[in-house]
């Protein structure tokens, strides 16, 4: 009796699993060559403007969700009288400044317009400061995700 055997075509390994550099993934990457231009553009654009890296790669839905989430955290942080770090006198301020810088243009515009300049005087303002730092760190993650999509390291 003859058994039917289906020759399984190798599928690309998912992003969260091991084996990202496998032959199947390299073949999948070949289909990812649709993106042209400067390879670091989505990374830089995504850092400067939340979601812009995904927009450049035509990932409209993801880019919009990322932009809304990150901008909302930043704006809520400012609305809660959160502080934008401007100097780094000690290690905690250095870490805060690093987080704030992840916000890209939002941080620069905020500093230029004098937002977030008041010192923290009550608890909610401290929450706001953390919101702003967290928005910056999430923006860096989103920009790196756009870069991974651009290079084909993340399949889709």
Partner 1 sequence: MIRPSHFTALLLVAVFASTVFGITMRDTPKRMVRYGLYCFSLFVGSAILLSWVMYFMAR
Binding to partner 1 (CB under 8 A): which residues in 56-95? 62, 65-66, 69-70, 72-73, 76, 79-81
CB of 1 to partner 1, least distance (A): 38
- The mark string for 126-145 relative to partner 1 (x by CB under 8 A, - otherwise) is -x---x--x---x--xx-xx
Looking at 2-10, 36-44, 107-115, 148-156, which segment touches partner 1 (CB under 8 A)? 148-156
Encoded one letter per residue, x for contact with partner 1 by CB under 8 A and - for no contact, window 104-123 reads: -------------------x
**46 in Cβ contact with 142 (< 8 Å):** yes
User: Quick check: 16 binds partner 1 (CB under 8 A)?
Assistant: yes
Question: 127 with 80: CB under 8 angstroms?
Answer: yes
Q: Is 48 in the site for partner 1 (CB under 8 A)?
A: no
Report which secondary-structure segment, H or E, holds 152. Answer: none
Q: Which is nearer to partner 1, 30 or 91 (CB)?
A: 30
Helix (H, G, I), strand (E, B) or coil at 7: coil
Cβ atoms 37, 57 nearer than 8 A: no
The answer to whether 75 touches 19, Cβ cutoff 8 Å, is: no
In degrees, to the nearest 5, what angle opens at C-alpha 127 toward C-alphas 121 and 133? 110
DSSP state of 3: P
- Round to whole Å and give the CA distance between 122 and 75: 18
Residues that bind partner 1 (CB under 8 A): 14-16, 62, 65-66, 69-70, 72-73, 76, 79-81, 123-124, 127, 131, 134, 138, 141-142, 144-145, 154-156
């Amino acid at each position: 009796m003859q058994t039917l055997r289906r020759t399984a075509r190798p599928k690309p390994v998912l992003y969260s699993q091991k084996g990202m550099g496998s032959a199947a993934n390299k073949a999948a990457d070949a289909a990812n060559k649709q993106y042209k231009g400067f390879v670091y553009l989505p990374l830089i654009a995504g850092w400067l403007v939340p979601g812009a890296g995904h927009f450049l790669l035509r990932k409209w839905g993801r880019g919009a969700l990322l932009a809304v989430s990150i901008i909302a955290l930043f704006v809520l942080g400012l609305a809660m009288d959160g502080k934008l770090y401007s100097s780094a006198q000690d290690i905690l301020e250095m870490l805060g400044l690093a987080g704030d810088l992840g916000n890209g243009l939002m941080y620069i515009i905020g500093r230029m317009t004098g937002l977030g300049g008041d010192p923290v005087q009550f608890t909610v303002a401290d929450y706001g400061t953390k919101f702003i730092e967290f928005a910056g760190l999430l923006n860096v993650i989103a920009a790196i995700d756009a870069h991974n999509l651009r290079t084909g390291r993340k399949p889709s």
